[in-house]
Amino acid sequence: MNTVIQKEQEYRTKRGKALLGHTVNTSLKYKLWIAFLLLVIFIGGYAYYRQLKFGLVVTAMRDYTSWGIYISNFVFFVAISLVGSLISSILKLNKNDWSRPLTRVSEIIAVAAIICAAVIIIVDMGRPDRFFYVIMHLRIQSPIIWDVIIISTYLVISLLLLYLSLLPDIALCRDRLTAIPKWKKWLYRIMSINWSNHPKQIETHHKITKLLAISVLPVAFAIHTVTSWLFATTWRPGWDSTNLGPYFVSGAFMAGAAVIIVAMYLIRIHLKLKKYITELHFEKMGRLLVLLSLVYLYFNINEYLGPAFKMVGVEGEHITELFTGKYAPMYWFVQLGGLILPIVFLIFKPFRKPLPIFIISIFVVLGAWFKRFLIVIPSLQHPYLPIQDVDESYLHYVPTWEEWAITMSSFAWFLLIITVLIKLFPVIPVLKEKIDSETINKLNVFKNEKS
C-alpha cells in the first residue's frame, strides 16, 4: 500500500523523494514507538494525578531538599534547548555550509526541549492552580519572573526559527505531496501562507531569517544565564558563584551538541538518510563537541578549584561530599565519563565515526543530566545551620516513583514532539536557502517590469 502511494506523489527529484519520503511512509516500528511513548506519558500522567491529589508529599522533596529532580530536569531541558541557536544561528552566521542538514533537527529539538522545560516547571509548583498569579501579581524583582519572561520569549523565537526555515519546504510538501490525507493537505496549505517561491518572498524570507539568526543569540545566552541566576542569587554552597552563568551556558552547548549527534545517528538509521547525514557530519560534530567540552571543562575547573582550595565552611563540606562523600560515584561518573573521557576519545579520528561518537554522546548526555542533579540537590543538603530537629525523611533525597515517572514522561513528551514534527515535516531542508543567481535575475526582471 505504501509503495502505491509513493508512486502517486510528485517527488520530481531524487532528493525530494529521499527527504520527503519519511513524512508519508508509516512503518509498524514507528507506530510501536509512538505507542511506547504514549504509555510512558500515561504512567507519568497518573503519577501527576497523584501529585495533584495529595500534594508534593508524594515526592521525596522535603524542607531541606526543597528542589529535586524536577528542577534539575528543568535545567537539563533548558540546556538542551540551546542547540537550536547553536547550530542554526552560530554555524549559519559563520557560513558553515556543512551544518545545513542539521539545522532542522536542531531547531526541532530546541522547540521540544523548551516546551518540556516550561511544562516541567509547572509540575514542580506546589500550587499549579495559581499559575496565572505569576502574571497577575508579577514582581519584576524576582529571577523567576525573568526566567518566565525569557523562556516564553525563547519559546516563540525557537518556534519562529523552525517555522522560517520550514516555510519553503512546507510549500514544497503542499505542491508535491498530492496523495495524502485531507487534514494534512489542509495543514500544509494553511502553514505555507501562500508561499510561491516569488523572488520578493525569497528576498524577505532571507532578510528575516538572518535577522532572527542574529537576535536569537542574545536570547539563547540569556535563557541559560537567567536560569543559572535562579541559583546564583542565593547563598547556597555551589550556587553562590559568579562563574555560574558561563558555566551553565558552556555546559548547555556541550550537552546540546551531544544531543544533536544522538539525534543525527538515530535519524540517519531509521529514516535511511545516510546520503544526507554523512560521516563527514559526524566528524565535524565530533570536533565541535571536543571544542565545546574543553570550554566546559575550563569552567568546571573554575567552578570547583576555588572552593576546593579554600574549603570554607559549608562550601567545603559540599565539595568534600561531591569529591569523596555520598555523591562521589555520581560526581566522578559525570566528570570522567561525561566530560574527560569523551574529550580524550574524540581527539582520535576513529572515535568520530558514527557509532563510536553516538555511544560517547549518550554518555555526555547522561553525564549532563546527572550533572544537573549534582548542581541542584547536594547544594540544598548543605545549609549554613545544621539539619536537626526534623523528621528522618528530611535528611536524604531519593526520588520516589512518582518523580521518576513524571521525569520519564517529560522525556517521552520530548521525544514525541520530535517524532511528530519529523513525521509532519522534512527533517532535512529540501530547498536550498541561498539566493542563487537565477533568483536574483528573476527578481530584477520583476522589478523592472513593475517600474
Partner 1 sequence: MENDNSNTDSRRWFLKTISSGGILAATGLALGTFTSCKEKSAEKTTLLTTDGKLVQVPNSEIEAMEHLHQGAPPMEAREGISGKKWVMVVDLSKCKNARKCVDLCDKHHNLTPDRPYIKVYEMKDNEKSSPYWMPKKCFHCDNPPCVKVCPVGATYKRTDGIVLIDNERCIGCRFCMAACPYSARVFNWGDPPEGKLDLPYSPETSLPSKVGTVAKCDFCPDMLRQNKLPHCVPACPNGVIYFGDEIDDTVTNGEETVRLSTLLKDKAGYRYLEELGTKPRVYYLPPVDRLFPFEKNTEENSES
Partner 2 sequence: MRNHNYLNIDVLKLLILISLVAFNSSILYGQDEEVMEDAILSISFSEDNDTKIITTKAVDQSGMPIEDLELYYFVKRTFSLLPIGDSFNSTDENGIIKVEFPIDLPGDTIGNVNIVVKLIESDIYNDQTLEITKNWGIPTVIEDQETEKRSLWAAAANAPISLIVIVSSMIIAIWYIIFYIIFKLYKISKIKPLIN
By CB under 8 A, residue 198 contacts partner 2: yes
Q: Which of 5, 34, 90, 134 is the binder for partner 1 (CB under 8 A)?
A: 134
Residue 292: CB atoms within 10 Å: 22
Q: How far apart are CA 126 and CA 145, in angstroms?
A: 17
Shortest distance, position 406 Cβ to partner 1, whole Å: 16
27 DSSP 8-state letter: -
By CB under 8 A, residue 144 contacts partner 1: yes
By CB under 8 A, residue 387 contacts partner 2: no
DSSP assignment of 233-266, as one string?
Answer: TS--TTTS-TTHHHHHHHHHHHHHHHHHHHHHHH
Task: Please say which residue, 166 or 415, places its beta carbon nearer to partner 2.
Answer: 166
Task: Please say which residue, 4 or 140, places its beta carbon nearer to partner 1.
Answer: 140
Kindly provide the b/e burial profile for residues 86-109, where b requires at least 16 CB atoms within 10 angstroms of the residue's own CB.
bbbbbbbeeeeeebbbbbbbbbbb
Nearest to 9 by CA among 194, 22, 432: 22
Residue 201 interacting entry, from partner 1, partner 2, none, C-beta within 5 to 8 Å by type: partner 2
By CB under 8 A, residue 408 contacts partner 1: no
Residue 120: which residues within 8 A CB-CB, separation 6 or more? 70, 73, 74, 77, 410
Region binding partner 1 by CB under 8 A among candidate stretches 27-35, 357-365, 386-394, 400-408: 386-394
By CB under 8 A, residue 440 contacts partner 2: no
Q: How far apart are CA 412 and CA 406, in angstroms?
A: 10
Q: Which of 110, 161, 288, 380 is the binder for partner 1 (CB under 8 A)?
A: 380
Shortest distance, position 127 Cβ to partner 1, whole Å: 4
Shortest distance, position 136 Cβ to partner 2, whole Å: 10
By CB under 8 A, residue 110 contacts partner 2: no
By CB under 8 A, residue 264 contacts partner 1: no
Q: Please count the residues of this chain forming the interface with partner 1, following the rule CB under 8 A.
A: 45
Q: Which of 52, 138, 294, 390 is the binder for partner 2 (CB under 8 A)?
A: 138
Max CA pair span of the chain: 85
From residue 451, give the alpha-carbon distance in Å to each of 30, 303, 407, 443, 445: 54, 63, 61, 13, 10
By CB under 8 A, residue 93 contacts partner 2: no
Binding site for partner 2 (CB under 8 A): 137-141, 146, 149, 153, 156-157, 160, 164, 167, 193-196, 198-201, 204-205, 207-208, 211-212, 215, 218-219, 442, 446
